Each structure stands twice: as C-alpha cells, then as structure tokens.
Structure 1
Amino acid sequence: MTVQHDGTSARTALDADGIASDWTRDEWVAFADRLLDTARSYASPGHGRIHFPGAEGGYGHDVDGLEGFARTFLLAGFRIAGARGEGTEELADFYRQGIVTGVDPDAADRWVRLDEHAQAKVEAASLALVLDMTRPWIWDRLDALTQQRVIDYLAPVVGDTTYPKTNWLWFRVVVQTFLRSVGGPWSASDIADDLALHDSLVREDGWISDGFERSYDHYVGWALHTYPVLWSRMQGADELAGGRTAGDIVRLDRFLQDAVALVGADGSPLIQGRSLIYRFAAAAPFWVGAIAQVPSVPLGQLRRAANAVVAHFVDHAAPGDDGVLTMGWHHEWRELAQSYSGPGSPYWAVKGLLGISLPADHPVWAAASEPLPVEAADDVRVVRSAGWAVSGTAADGIVRIANHGSDHAADGALVGDSPLYARIGYSTATSPLANQAAWHEPLEQSVALVDEAGRATHRAAMELIDVRVDGEGDARVAIAASRSRAHWLTPRPAAHRHGSGLDGDVELAGVVTVHSLLRGPWEVRLTRVDSLEPCVDAGALRLRVGGWALAASETPRSSIEALRPSEERNADSSSSSRLSSSVEDEVEGRDAAASVAAEGLCSSIRPLLGAGAPSFEERFDASPLGPVAIVPVVTYPVEPGAWIATLVELTAADLASSGDATVDVRTDAGDTTVTVSWPDGTATTSRLANPGEASDADR
C-alpha cells in the first residue's frame, strides 16, 4: 500500500480508482518470512527458546524465552498451513526441534511448565493451536515420546481453577480441545464452564468485555473474537461447540461493522487500552472475519483493514532495520508495555498476519479492495457497550472517540484513572500520555477538579448516562455522557499493573457530569459540577478541561488565538488575531483558543460557556509518539450547578478551523437542550439525557 508519511497529515495516498492499494499475498508472506528469519537467529541451541534482545521482562528470563518461541510459532504455523506444507520443510523442522527440546525435562532450554509460572498457560494456547493447525507437518512427525511429553506438558490445564475470568478462558478451551484430539486428559465441565463464562461477557452489538470490569479494548478483537472462530476449526471442536459457532459468527459480523470504522485512513488503530506493544495484532479480527465468511463486511474491506493496520507499522519502522519488534508503538518506548512484558511479548503482533494461513486460492486474495469507512466518507456512530461516541473524518483520515463507559474498573469502584482506558478521548492520530506520572494525574482528554496543591481528581468508575446518535445527514451528532464521583487518590504501590487504574486512599471531591457531542473534528464538551463534598471549598478549586496531547521529536508549536468579540466576528468571520505564546501564557475570557501543532496535526481548545482561561501543559518523555508533548487546556472557576462548554478539536494542521462556534443550553421543566453552532456553520439541537434515564441509543 502507499501511504503518505511526510508529516503533513494522516491522509492516505490513493490509487487511480480512489482506493488505497494492498499488498499481494506474496508480499504478506515475504514480511512474515523476514520476521521468522530474524526470530530463528535468536534461538537457543536446541531451539526451545527464542530470546530477543532487550531488557528482561518482569516475569524473568525463562518466561521471556518461552514467549519468544510460542509467539513466533504462531506465525510459523500460519505460514506452514497457508502453504499446505510446501516449501516450508525447513521452517517446520526448526520448530519441531524446538518442541522436542521444550518438553524435554533435562534440556537446558526447556519450556517453563504450566505449574511453574502462570504465563506458560498463555503460551500453551499458541502451542496447542498451531500443533492442531499444522498437524500433518509437525505433530504427526514427532516421535511417540515427544508427543507424550507434549501431552504431559499441557495436561495441568485440566481442572485448573486459577485462570483469570477474562480472555484467558480461551487458553484453557484451546489447550483442552487439542488434548482431547490426541488422547490426552480433558474435562467436559471445564470447557462448558469456560464457554458459559465467555457468553456472560458478551455485550450489545457484538462487543465483548474482557472480564467483568468495563474493559473494552483491542482484546475484544484479537482474543475474544479471534479464538472462538479458530477454535471452531480445531479437530473435534464441532463436537464440543454444541451449535454455538453460528452465534459466535453473528456477533463477530456485528463487531466488525464497528471495528473497520475504528481504523484511521493511515492504518493506525485506536491508541487505547493495554498491550499496545502488540501493535498489528489489531488486524487479527479482520482476517478472522474472512475465515468465518461474515456476511456484512466485504472480503475486500476486511483485507484492506488488515493491510492498512500492518502496513502502518511497517511504514513507521516497526520492526526496525534489524527485523526485531520492540516494546513500543512506532519505536521502542518501554513505558507503553505492561510491567511484566518481556522482549518476546511484542510478537503477539503476528496474530495480525493470520491471513497468510489462507491459501493463495482463497477468495480473500482476489476480492477487490474496498475503502475503510473513514476513507469513503465522514462517519458518525456509537459503540453502546463501551460508551463510545465515534467520529471519523475523511478529510484528515482520523477516527476519534469520546469515551464515557470504558475505564477497566468495576462498577462503583473509586480507583485511579488508567490513562489507557479512562480518558475522555482517544484517536488514531494521538496517544494518551502514558508515563508513570500519567497514572497519577489526569491531564489530556480529562475534566478534573484541581486543588491548590495541583492535585487533579479522577473519574473512574464513571456512570454511563447516554450514548446515541442524534440528527440526520450533515447534522448527525454522536453523543456520550457520564457522571462521576470525582475523587483525589493517594496511590498504593503495586508490583504489577495490567491496565487498571491504581488503588489507593480516596478523598471525595464532588459529583461531575460530562456530555460529549462529537461532529466532524470537533467535540463540544459540556460539563457541570453537580455538587461538592461539604468540606470542599469551590473557591479553592479550578475545573480543568484537557484537550488532545500532541507529541513530537521536537517541541510542538503552541499559540494562543485571541478572537475578536462575537458580534465583531459575526460581521467579519474571516478576521482574528493570533498571538505567539509560551506554555506559561494564559488569555482570560471565552474569546480565546489554545492551539498546538506537531507532525502535521493541530490540537486546539477554546471555552464556549464560562470564564475559561486557555493555556498549555508540557510533559517530557510521556508519550510513545515523541519525547515532548504539549496539552492545550482550559481552566474555569468552579460554580456548582452551572454549565460550562468547551470546544475541543483535532485535525490535520492545514484543515484546522478558525470559524466561530457558540453553545446555548436551556432547561425547561427538567429537560435540558443544547443548541450548537459549529465552526462550519451547521447548527444542531440535542436533548441531554438525565442520570438514570434510559438512553434512546441509535440502532
């Protein structure tokens, strides 16, 4: 595919037909072979472990080596199966020898056993899945002793009740299904329990929560939808499925209708959720959709989505010249990884290459490429389960979400905000700040009460109030809203973090309600401090509204735009004055905006209702996208019961708007309506939902 990466915008270069070009299957295979050749060069003498260069992971050297083997074995399995074994004999021999070594209890580079470390339960699923997928070329050619040792290695999964009640359920199902197929131990009740657990995690519109917390992220696609389809194709799985596969595919089909709309035109997935170092694993559900032959998303669009995601990272030098996937996004940035991740962990990315398991004669390779939703037109939608309002814009190729329902926290839990989950906004062009300080301080894409000591409140776990699409045509607005018990947190130390916010001592501040109205590149963020705790003084607080963080290798350009009064702008809307500003500058009043420009993007914020003061916050080594990040913010005095409104914008720098915007909020007989005049001149009027009121979600 051809994608511009000259820093001018996120827009995609199109071919003569107006559609981005895709890799051929041969190009996919060549990329896979490069990753596999590199991986094999880091193998132990017996091939049982693969140790990539880099700092040891939080689970230790032995686990790192098992991860390196098992995760690249996934890719080897896809390669061998797609070629039907032809021309892959050397590859099969290499990994077959690794299996012999891995299950040899006396080998120096044997695998960590499942009863030695829980991480082995994760990797065991990859081993079992590929042993089934490549049965004629690997399993059937193992000697009887090694086969029995493999069975013995996997057997501890049977009856094990310590698996987390998350996507891990599929690790046990996959392993036991393989064990059953080769005469090993297995438990019908274990599988039944796990399938029932999966079903209990299913939510609206094909979305699935990764556990009983509000956890919506890439695991929905690359685990909770990928494993059911791959499992259904394992030997003997149809006897265990009990007719459930058709329902799994219906849910996958509906999920994919949203998933293809959450990929930017430059191929970037949403930079949201944990395990982002798995990068192009985000392409896996698109290939699974092709395998399952879902009816609603065309094969050409599924392949286009997968190709866009993988090529995005390749075009941004991941992997680098040495062929190694590091812990980071475009480049190595260790803080993006979870505390337990090791140098082999990023190789779950190979799930995004699942397509090469489909042979050359599969119709997905011949299907005409079809554009992503954001490439074809502006897209406005909601993801009800996650509480996301979504706006994708064709002009700049960016997809943005306003998040009011996903925080990786249990209902009612007062914990710290995870920067990976609990921010108000995420996009395909920006990253949340994710350094250590970001877990303590909600800043970008937040609404926080800030006290005199500079402490910012957290909002997890917020209460979802509304998620719907309002209006028609160009006046369609995606709306999401939530209410939170804003609280300060003094965190307690934690040895390992898996994406959730920090636990700690809580000090309540008050109740804050936020409504996000998304249209085009803009969000109108309506905020009201409903009440404060009796001991909290409004005069000692400021309400801070944070915009999109932009990060770059050099300090982004920032400026304060001092706008003329509304009546003068109405008479001459083309006129405004721009004032150069440092990050310390502030301009009081609602006729000012703070803007940041970097890497061809512009992030701006301005107050529309309330006496807001725009300014900037600068952070260093806080983002995977660059060492210097700037966040435009607006701070307001705190007036309980009063609405404030803030316009938040993210777009390509050459598309940034200078048009006027206004907001009118009216309450009558308990109903509140908001009329917005957007910067492009469109006017919309929407009713705001009240807490506890059922939402008329767009269906």
Structure 2
Amino acid sequence: MEQASPDRYQPPTAHGPRPTAHAFTRDEALALWSRIVAGWARHLDGSGARTLIEGEPNAADAGGSYEGVTRMLWGLGGWLAPPGRPAVVTWRGEAFDTEALMRRAIVAGTDPRSPGYWGAAPPRGEYDQRTVESGQVAFALWQTRSRIWAHLDDRERERVVAWLERFGRQPSYWRNNWALFWVLNHAARKALGAPHDQAIIDSALDYLDGVYCGAGWYDDGPARGARHFDDYNFWVFGSHVLAWAGCDGDSQPARRDRLLERVRASMDHFPFFFAADGAYTEYGRSLAYKFARLGAPLWAYRLGAWPHPVGMLRRLVGRHLRWYVDRGAIRADGTLRQALTAGGSPEIREPYIATGSPYWAMQAFGALWSLPDDDPFWATEEEPLPVERGDFVRAFPQPGWVVSGTAATGAVQRFNAGSQGGPAKYGKFAYATAAPFNVGLADGRPAPDGMLCLTGGGEWGHRGEGLAHAVGEPGWLRMRYEERVGGGTHLIDTTIVVRGEHHLRAHRVVLDPAADAPIGAVEGAAPLGYAPGVLPSIESDRVTGGEGAAAEGRAVAIVPLQGYSRGVPAAAWRGRDRLNSVYGRYVLPLLEVDELAPGHELICLVHIGGAPVDLTELRGSVADAGWLADGTFRLTWREGDTIDVPPL
C-alpha cells in the first residue's frame, strides 16, 4: 500500500517560485492525488455514481453531479492503468480503494435501475453533455481493461455499451471540438472488442483536417474561420487525439503519425504561456478546468511528441500544480472549486459548469499516472522554463496572439487581436500572469481593464467581434472592431506594439454620426490584484498624466501620449471587488476622454509586470509615434529603433 507523503514545500512569494524551488517529486504528486481522491470519495452519493459538492449547481446537478464522477475517471483510469500499481491510496490514515470506487461508479452510472444512473434525463438534442463524458468513460475502461472490464459480467458490459451507444450516435454535422468525444467513445469500445462504429471514428477524425490551421492550432468551430482559439486546443484537441493514438492509433498509423506531428507542433509553443512560478496566462472559457491543460503535454511526452527537454516538463507540471494549490483552488475538504482560486470571482464560471465540472482537471493526473513509476520524468533534473532562459516575444498568426516573457520578473503576457469569444474572457488586449484579468461584470458590463471602452448615454462598450486583424514580428498587433454605445456603432482601429513589460496602444476612433449622445472613453491598464492585508501603493503623476499602482513586487501603469483628458487614480472599478479572476481585491489605473471628436486619435503607454515603475521613464521610452498618410502606424523608441505596423 502506498502512503501519501506530507506536503514539504514552502509558501509562494508574490510572483515567483517558492523560496526553496525544490524539484517536483512523485511523493509530492502522490500526496496531492491522495488528497483529491479522499475529498472526492467522501462526497459521493449513496450509489457512488454522483458527487454532492459545494458550488453553484445547474441542471446537470439534479440528483448530484454525474460529471463529478465521469471526469474523475480521467485520473482513476491513469492511476489504475499499470496492472501492478496498488489500487489503494491513503490520506491522513484513511484508505481509499480506487479500483473498487471506479468499478462501483461505472456499474451504477450505466444501470437504469440505479438512483445514480447517468442516463435518467432524456438526451438534449444531438449534442448532449453526456456525450462529452462518454469519451473518458470508454477510455478509462480501456485503460483499466485487465482490472475492471475483464471482471464485469455480461449484463454489466451490455449496460455499459448501451449507455455509450445512446450518447455516441453521430450528429448531423461536426460543430466543434466535441467531434473528439465521439472518437474516443467508439475507439475505446473498438479497443475493448465491443460494438462500435468505425465510420463515426473516421468522419470525426476527418473533421480535424477541416479546422486545422497549421503550427499545431485548431480553430474550434465547424470549419476554419470561426477564429475561436483557447485552451480547448490542449484539453480536447490535444488530449483526445493523444488518447485516440494510444488506444486505436495503430489501426491507422499514417493518420496517427500526422496527428502526432500536429501535437508536437502545438507542444512547441505550449511552455511559453507559463510564468516562472507556474502561473498561466489565464484566458478564454472553461477556466474552471484549471490544470487540465497539463494532460496534453504529459501524454505527448509519453507518446514521443514532446519537443522540449523532459526536465522542463517536470518543472512546468510541478509549478503549475503548486500555483493552484497555493491559491486555494482545492478546498480544505479536498474538493475542487468552480472558481480559479479561493479569492477569485465566481463569475469565471459559465452556465454549463456544474459543481462536478472542474474535475476535467483530472486529465493532468490521468496523464501523469500513465507514466511508469520509474519513468525518467521523475528522476531527470529540472530545466528552466522559456521565460527563465531569457526574454522573448513570439507572434502566433493562427490565433492572432503575441506572447511576451520577461526573465527578470518571470512574468508572461498574452496579447489577443484575433480570437473571438465573450468580451471579458477573449476581448481584452492583454492577459497577464502578473495582473490577471477582471472577469466579473459591473452593472451588467465588463470592466475596462486591458481595454478601450467607449462611453455614452450612461453605458460603456467593450471590444466584441473583430472585423480584421494581423500580428507580426517583432511583436505587434493590429485589429479593427466595433463598439456599440450611445445609440451608435463606432469603428475602432487599434495598434499594439510590445516591448518587454511595456506596450504602446494607439487607437483611431471613427464615431457613428447616428449616435444620440456625446461619446467619451475610458481605458484601463491591467488590474493589479493583491492578497488580503496588503496595501497597494497608488501613484498619480501630474507631469506625465500617468497613473500606476504597485503591490507585492508587481506593478501596472498607464501614461497618456495623445488624445486623453485625464488620468484616474487606481481603484476598484465602480467600487466593485470580487471582479478579478484570481484575486479578491484589485485596483485599476485608468485614462479618460470626456468627449471624442468624430475622428479621434489616442496613444498611450502601458506597463504590466515588475515593480517599481517610473512613470516619467515610461513616458520617455517613446521618441515618436503616429500614423502615416497610408495608414501605417510608425513607432520610434527612445533607443532609435523604428517599427512600422502596416494598415489592415
């Protein structure tokens, strides 16, 4: 019997690895896994097929959350995959038989006579939530085939297959990443020797070719052009392709190898999104899944598709897990929160996130435990993450992102010009590890952090669907989009040029003459979150007109260069705390424009990163900036280097 080891690491610093920065060990992983298993098992219902967990419920929680069990199968399947690994884990003296728990869950969850039956509610059209869950149910059974599937009787197997078939019928079209849930449902059944439909597997895998954009990126829609890029590239497109390759790839080796090369390309840029302390540039939807994004790189490593040193992967996995644990993502009772952290806004949750949905995070442990206990992953010396190796700026044209890292602070920023989605989770200019974005709404609207928001008629706008965009080296973005306020639809052309932890923003605003109210603007830097008991320092500079704030070794600032009326000292937006995705408290420095001209130009400089920041020095970093006659935006930095950003 394996015994969970006590936690041995130190509390985190403000923005950096723990002071001891010790290597991630198997004992540490086992302790965390055992804690999660214990918390989960103690919250099972009487059938063992549903969880009863604190949180904001939705319709899928009726009778208890089936997702809290089906998603735990990611981790249980990985843990039990090696036939010789002990089934029992121990937490604080209490033993939990993971094999018995998994068998009980699957038998009860697929039995129509059980109160925990996962199929009680009728399917909700072609795309039912239980189709999502069916993939890992089938895959976990394949992983544990010698322990569980082999010991189910004929009637139990028939009920399992009937449930998988009920939620594995082909829809009329493939609309997004969901196609891969059908792949895994049928491919794992095939690998178990159970009834399946090969045509569904092939059709869904063919769909991938229609949404692949190159360099490892998939556009999460019915076809290329949806411009929807986020972590589903990792925790579905990546993880499920790798799972298919593991259980069925040998049947189509040419297709398998082609898909694994795409995974390798995706993994090439994966580590660049992480700060030195393991923080991630949180962005997009379903962030309640937290460290689920670790599943893809770990499975990629297992299948030979990880292009970086294994020591880098070991460091990334350990620090990313610790980042969430340190911030209360796992409650004291061992269950997973829907929010990102203990202090972060609950509005990170989408309506489809049930109380058990965060257990999608168990992809990380499913992949981790798929590695042999003596795998070199556990013994290889850790190696630095990209941001620890040196400063970088990378442009990703497929999603329309620029990613920048600064070695001195270990912080990383993701700038978005091209990917579409909701305004708070996709529409900000920047998503930064040092200053995570505000996700909560104030008076029904997103806050102006990392954004130029037009104002008028008592309302304020926010960037929504884009009209055009481009990104390029050495780190610029340009985008054209609309905002609707004051009875009009107004056109904005924004250019961003990134230079370390500074970036310049330049906007050309063309107002709609049909507007029925004067149109102003408010523009925010990034929100500076801080821990309870910390008192941030607030700075307003009369000479530059800039505004800034600093706390815990981090700082944000915004300085006007052209077109603004005034700065607004950093404070909680409209007095609202609990808007931030990570922190319970934050302050946001702003610039304002009282009334925009029909054609108005705005230019400002923003700092997001380490403290202190000198507002005068920030203002002086630009020698000249403006638009040329053909629409090109030209920026000359103080050092003399010039960047031309072409018009769209």
TM normalised by structure 1 equals: 0.83
Are the aligned partners of 1:593 and 1:607 in contact in 2 as well (CA < 8 Å)? Answer: yes
Aligned to 2:3: none
Compared with structure 1, are the counterparts of its residues 3 and 221 closer, same or farther at alpha carbon in structure 2 (3 Å cutoff)? Answer: farther
Aligned to 2:603: 645
1:516 alignment partner in structure 2: 496
Q: Which one of 476, 481, 486 corresponds to residue 479 of structure 1?
A: 476
Q: Distance in 1 between matches of 2:616 and 2:310?
A: 40
| 1:176 CA drift (Å) | 0.9
Per-residue deviation, 1:140? 0.7
| 2:208 pairs with 1:198 | yes
Question: Are 2:110 and 2:119, in contact at CA under 8 Å, matched by a contact in 1?
Answer: no
Alpha-carbon distance change, 3 to 425 in structure 1, aligned in 2, over 3 angstroms: farther
Aligned partner of residue 536 in structure 1, secondary structure: coil
Counterpart for residue 358 of structure 1 = 371
- Tell whether 2:440 aligns with 1:435: yes
Q: Following superposition of structure 1 onto structure 2, how do residues 483-522 of structure 1 map, counting pairs within 5 Å?
A: 483-488=480-485, 508-522=488-502
Aligned to 1:570: none
1:133–1:233 Cα change, 3 Å: same
Equivalent runs, 1:113-152 vs 2, <5 Å? 115-116=122-123, 118-152=128-162
Residues 295 and 55 (structure 1 numbering): CA distance in 2 closer, same or farther, change over 3 Å? closer
Q: 1:22 to 1:83 in 2, by over 3 A?
A: farther
Q: Which amino acid aligns with 1:562?
A: D
- Give the 5 Å matches for 1:523-538: 523-529=503-509, 531-536=510-515
1:349 aligns with 2:329: no
Which amino acid is the alignment partner of residue 22 of structure 2?
S
Correspondence 1:542 to 2:520: yes
Letter in 2 for 1:176: H
Rounded to whole Å, the distance in 1 between the matches of 2:584 and 2:323 is 20
- Say yes or no: does 1:100 pair with 2:104: no
Contact 1:177/1:237, CA 8 A, preserved across alignment: no
The one-letter code of the counterpart of 1:647 is L
Q: Is the 8 A contact 1:383 1:389 kept in 2?
A: yes
After TM superposition, list the pairs within 5 Å mapping 1:181-192 onto structure 2.
181-192=191-202
Q: Does the CA contact (< 8 Å) of 2:60 and 2:66 recur in 1?
A: no
Pair 666,652 (structure 1): closer, same or farther in 2 beyond 3 Å: closer
Structure 1 residues 463, 2: CA separation in 2 closer, same or farther (over 3 Å shift)? farther
For normalisation by structure 2, the TM-score amounts to 0.89
* Structure 2: distance between partners of 1:421 and 1:674: 27
Q: Distance in 2 between matches of 1:305 and 1:612?
A: 44
Residues 3 and 169 from structure 1, CA distance in 2 versus in 1: closer, same or farther, beyond 3 angstroms?
farther
- Of residues 259, 264, 285, the one that matches 1:274 is 285
Aligned-residue RMSD, C-alpha: 2.6
Asked if residue 467 in structure 1 is aligned to residue 471 in structure 2, the reply is yes
1:380 is displaced (CA, Å) by 0.8
Cα distance change, pair 601–160 in 1 and its aligned pair in 2 (3 A): same
Q: CA deviation at 1:601?
A: 2.1
Identify the match of residue 348 of structure 2 among 336, 345, 355: 336
The one-letter code sitting in structure 2 at the alignment partner of 1:97 is R
Q: Distance in 2 between matches of 1:295 and 1:441?
A: 38
SS of alignment partner, residue 59 of structure 1: helix
- In the other structure, the counterpart of 2:630 is 670
Post-superposition shift, 1:685? 0.8
1:67 aligns with 2:67: yes
Q: What's the counterpart of residue 367 of structure 1?
A: 380
**8 Å contact kept, 1:269–1:282:** no
Partner of 2:547, secondary structure, is strand
Residue of structure 1 equivalent to 2:458: 454
Distance 1:407 1:395, change over 3 A: same
Equivalent of 2:566 in 594, 602, 613: 613
Runs (5+) with no aligned partner, structure 1: 409-416, 471-477, 490-506, 565-590, 692-699
* Partner secondary structure for residue 27 of structure 1: helix
Matches of 2:203 and 2:485, distance apart in 1? 39
* 1:58-457 correspondence runs (5 A): 58-62=59-63, 64-82=64-82, 84-88=84-88, 90-112=97-119, 115-116=122-123, 118-161=128-171, 165-212=175-222, 213-234=226-247, 236-239=248-251, 241=252, 243-294=254-305, 296-331=307-342, 333-353=345-365, 354-408=367-421, 417-437=422-442, 440-451=445-456, 453-457=457-461
Task: Confirm whether residue 604 of structure 1 aligns to residue 557 of structure 2.
Answer: yes
For 1:592 and 1:421, how far apart are their aligned partners in 2?
29
Do the aligned partners of 2:511 and 2:599 also contact (CA within 8 Å) in 1?
A: no
| Partner amino acid, structure 1, of 2:479 | S
Post-superposition shift, 1:269? 1.2
Shift of 1:310: 0.8
Cα distance in 2, alignment partners of residues 267 and 22 from structure 1: 13
How far residue 554 of structure 1 moved from its aligned partner, in angstroms, is: 6.0
Shift of 1:158: 4.3
Q: How far apart are residue 666 of structure 1 and its match?
A: 5.0
Provide closer, same or farther for how the CA distance between residues 431 and 658 of structure 1 changes in structure 2, counting only shifts above 3 A: same
Deviation at 1:155, TM superposition (A): 0.9
How far 1:318 moved relative to its partner? Answer: 2.6
Which amino acid in structure 1 is aligned with residue 464 of structure 2?
A
Aligned equivalents of 1:202, 1:175: Cα separation in 2: 22
| Aligned residue in 2 for 1:40 | 41
CA displacement at 1:66 relative to structure 2: 1.2
Structure 2 residue corresponding to 1:623, chosen from 576, 580, 589: 580
Q: Distance in 2 between matches of 1:3 and 1:165?
A: 45
Offset at residue 602 of structure 1 (A)? 1.3
Match of 1:494 in 2: none
1:557 is the counterpart of 2:514: no
Shift of 1:14: 6.8
Query: Would you say the 8 A contact 1:444–1:549 is kept in 2?
Result: yes
Match status 1:5 vs 2:12: yes
Q: Decide whether aligned partners of structure 1 residues 403 and 31 sit closer, same or farther in structure 2, where only a CA change above 3 A counts.
A: same
Letter in 1 for 2:621: A
How far did residue 121 of structure 1 move? 1.3
Question: For 1:13 and 1:45, how far apart are their aligned partners in 2?
Answer: 41
Question: Matched residues, percent identical?
Answer: 25
Instruction: Letter of the 2:260 partner, please give it.
Output: I
* Distance change >3 Å, CA 44–CA 449, structure 1 → 2: closer
Q: How much does 1:184 deviate?
A: 3.7
In structure 2, give the amino acid aligned to 1:419: A
The residue identity in structure 2 corresponding to 1:350 is: M
Distance in 2 of aligned mates of 1:338 and 1:23: 32
1:552-604 CA-partner distances (Å, limit 9, x unpaired): 3468636343254xxxxxxxxxxxxxxxxxxxxxxxxxx22111234442111
2: CA distance, partners of 1:656 / 1:247: 50
In 2, Cα distance between equivalents of 1:445 and 1:421: 11
Residue 403 (structure 1) shift: 1.0
Contact 1:113 1:120 in 2 (8 A): no
Residues 431-480 of structure 1 show CA distances to partners (whole Å, capped at 9, x for unaligned) of 322224386245111112211x232223321134321112xxxxxxx111
Cα deviation code 1:305-355 (max 9, x no counterpart): 222211111222331321111111121643211113222111111112221
When residues 39 and 164 of structure 1 are mapped into structure 2, their CA distance, relative to the original with a 3 A threshold, is: farther
SS of the aligned residue for 1:620 comes to coil
How far did residue 96 of structure 1 move? 0.9
Q: What SS class does the counterpart of residue 65 from structure 2 fall into?
A: helix
3-state SS of paired residue (1:401): strand
1:652 shift after superposition: 2.5
- Matched AA of 2:23: D
1:54 partner SS: coil
Greater shift after overlay, 276-285 or 261-270?
276-285
Q: Is the 8 A contact 2:401 2:471 kept in 1?
A: yes
Q: Once the 2 structures are TM-superposed, how far is the Cα of residue 39 of structure 1 from its aligned partner?
A: 1.1
